[in-house]
Structures are given as structure tokens and as C-alpha cells.
Amino acid sequence: MTTIAVPLRTSAVILVVLGAALAVAVLSPTRSTRQRAQRAAMAVPAYVAMRDDLDARLAWLARRAERTGLWLDLQMLGEMHLSRAQLSGRLEDYLAADAGIERAFALAPAGAGPFQARARLSLALHRIDRVEADVAAFERCLLLKDRDLAAIADLRAQVAFARGDYSVAEAGFRRSIELDPTPGNLFNLAQVRWKSGDFTGAELLLDQAESTLAERTGHTAAWLRLQRGLIALDQGDHAVALAEYRIADARFPGWWLVEEHIAEARAALGETDAAITAYRDLIARTGDPEFMDALAPLLEATGAHDEAAQLRARSDAAFTERFALLPEAAAGHALGHWLERDGAEATRLAVELAERNHALRPNGEAGTLLARAYLKAGRTDDARTVIERTLATIWRSTELHATAMAVYQAAGETGQADEHRAAALAINPHALD
């Protein structure tokens, strides 16, 4: 099974797309109700239940679309595949979403089509330069409601955030919230606070996002709680992060994304055997090369060098395949992989992917990764240019300051290196571990 983990950690697009599932539930209530009752009786984990619901609805909607040939049915089919992709992380689901939405456009009359759906998909796949045209086309629709105008503002703000235009992004998210506060746009505003180093402000906005939920269980509730864990992780508090992840797991049991973060936290806390067991299970279920990269050093620490080497070879091949199929979406993930690999070819690929990733979305994260790639390649002057440009923005993170420290050390400027070392440790006491 080939999978790809597209921006679940940092994007709230997933929260918007779930509306497609609800739409189809209205079209097929009897089957859906019966299946939910059967699964409840069998105590199936919530993640599995939701995935199976999506599969049943996808099959039903595919038959309907084949029968009717209507572009609106194909639009819903594409959106449903995107919902499943952002739940499962599977590459095939993203490709199916792309194909379904494009088929809908092929059948739609001139000037019509699933513009908003394609804009959401483009954001999910980091095709940032394609979003505005579809947002503008959607904006030309008649009789837009406040929730539509809120979605438009949110989409444009997400583009601005990806491009590092943080003041524009914050204004857009605030406008979206004024029109229609949702967990998604409240989290997106929280992310601006979070990535500028205002962890308290981010937490307060997550409080507001949770307050909009009808109940504190389910996929969205778990996803919001997962973000709290990531905020704690950014500050080096693995114990608090693990506690938040466990709450997320209780709210939506069986979700691989939460389980992966639990494994990561347990590894950081020294629970190596438990982390190894969890990663083995996750790899068997998902085939995700990022989990292979996480497991390999744990195995090496136990002396299982041959198995670790085999995992690294598998992840090399998987990242290469992903980049070939969905280059924009895979660039950032593959970049992290090659930055950690040794050798001239790994360095060349790291620089190539970092430059491409930064060109697609030149925000603080991409700038930090590009500086790291240049530093890996011995291009200290280029690394310094990029890191100073990133430092001139509101973006603040442990990774940014740690990278700046390394850049200034390479440049022989120990004073500035020490300043950024202190700044990294102030955010996360374990920043340099």
C-alpha cells in the first residue's frame, strides 16, 4: 500500500472537506444508519467506522455518478475521495479526488464546476499557485451565503500563510471567523499565533475552536486535541504532548495519525520497546516511509542495524515514488527524509527539493528547511541569506533558531550563533538534544 501524509499536522483543510461525507449521508440514510448500528454492536474503533462509512458512501456515489453522468455527482465523488484521503493518508485517495474533480469539470457547462472543491484539493496538495483562479471563479457565483464568503476568505488566507504573508493571512482568517466561526478557521488563526511563538494565544483560539463542536468526541475533536499536543511538543514537553495525544486517541480511537504521535512521544520519553512495537504496526498498516524513518534509528539503538538499513532503503524508494506521482505534495515530506540521509546524492536531492518547496510556499518552515539544505551542501552564504530573510518575518520556532545557530557557526560568527542557541533553548529546553 502506498500512502502519503499530506498536510494534516499544519492545515485545517481536513475540517472543511468532511462536509462532503455529510452530504452523501443525507442521500443514503438507511444504509448508513444500519451500518453504524452494526459497527457499534461490534465495538469497531471510531477511525475504522468512519473509514468504512466513507467507503460505503463512495461505492454508492460511484454507482450513482456512473448512472446519471451528472457533474454534480462527480463533484461529490471527488470531494468524498478527498475526505477519505485526509483521513487515511493514502496516495490513491488523493489521486482519485484529483481525477473525480477533473471529470466533473469536463462535464460541467462553461463557467461552472466544482471550483471550491478544486481549490481545497490544491491547498491539500500544496499546489498553491492554482488556488486563486478557482477561488475567484467561486466568488463569482450568485447568492453566496456568509459561510461561502467565510470559506473564500479562509482559502485566500491559507494561501497567504503558505506564502509567508502573515498579516494578510491573519486578517483573512479573522474575516472568515467574523462571517462564520468554525473549528477550521479558528485553528488556522491559532496557527498564525503558534508559528509566531505565541503559544498561549494559540491555545486560547483552540479553546474557541473546541467550543464550536457539538460534542467532544469524533474526528474533529481528536484533531484539535492533537494540535495541543504538537504545541506542547514544540516547547519540548513530551509528557504533556503524550497526555494530549492520549486524549485525542480516546476521542477518535484507531486513527493512525494520533497513534504515530503517541509512538513519537513514547520514543522521546525513553519507552523504546513500546515505540518500536507501535511503529512496526503503523508501517504494516500504512506503508508510510516517514514511519520507517522514525523506526530505523530506534532499531539501530538496539543493535538491529540490518533491519534499520532495509527500512532506510524502503523509505528511499517510497519517497522517490511519491515525488514522481504528486511532486508538490511530496516535496516537503521527501525533503525531510533526504536532509537526514548521508552522501552526495542525498545532499543534491535535499537542495533540489528544498528550493522547489520554498518556491511553492515560501513561509518560515520552508525557509528554515532551505537554509538547512544549503548548509548541508556547504553553501553557507546562501544559507545565511535565506535564514536572515526568514528571521525578518514573525515566524519563530525552535527549528528556525537552531538552524540560524548552525548557519552562524559555519560562518564563524559565534556571537550571533550563541544568541540563537539561547533563543532555541528558551522555546524548547531540549532543542539541541
Query: Quick one: CA torsion of 167, 149, 228, 45, rounded to 10 degrees?
Result: -150
Per-residue pLDDT at 220: 96
Per-residue pLDDT at 332: 86
Domain that holds residue 103: 7-125
Cα 391 from Cα 388, distance rounded (Å): 5
Cell matching residue 262:
503517541
377 is a domain residue: yes
Cα 337 from Cα 278, distance rounded (Å): 20
Cα 135 from Cα 133, distance rounded (Å): 6
Give me the average pLDDT of each 10-residue run along the chain (433 residues): 38 38 41 53 82 96 94 94 93 94 94 94 95 96 93 98 98 98 97 97 98 92 97 97 98 97 97 98 95 97 96 95 90 92 95 96 97 98 98 98 98 98 97 88
| CA angle 99–65–129, rounded 5-degree value | 30
222 is a domain residue: no
Let me know: does 122 contact 155? Beta carbons within 8 Å: no
Beta bridge partners, 90, equal 3
155 is a domain residue: no
Per DSSP (E only), the strands in 277-318 are none
Per-residue pLDDT at 6: 41
188 is a domain residue: no
Cα 419 from Cα 198, distance rounded (Å): 20
Whole-Å CA distances, 95 to 132, 284, 335, 351: 21, 22, 21, 27
Domain total of the chain = 2
Per-residue pLDDT at 41: 45
Cα 233 from Cα 174, distance rounded (Å): 26
> For the domain that residue 382 is a member of, what is the CATH number?
1.25.40.10
Per-residue pLDDT at 29: 42
Q: For residue 270, give every residue at least 6 positions away whose Cβ sits within 8 Å of its Cβ, in sequence order, or none.
A: none
The three-state secondary structure class of 6 is coil
Cell matching residue 147:
459561510
Short-list 303, 299, 325, CA closest to 312: 299
Q: For residue 179, give every residue at least 6 positions away whose Cβ sits within 8 Å of its Cβ, in sequence order, or none.
A: 146, 147, 149, 150, 153
246 is a domain residue: no
Cell matching residue 365:
518552515
250 is a domain residue: no
Per-residue pLDDT at 33: 52
Place of cell 522514525: 294
Per-residue pLDDT at 35: 56
311 is a domain residue: no
Cα 301 from Cα 303, distance rounded (Å): 5
Last residue of a domain, one of 69, 92, 125: 125
Let me know: does 117 contact 79? Beta carbons within 8 Å: yes
Last residue of a domain, one of 65, 91, 125: 125
Per-residue pLDDT at 234: 97
Last residue of a domain, one of 69, 102, 125: 125
231 is a domain residue: no
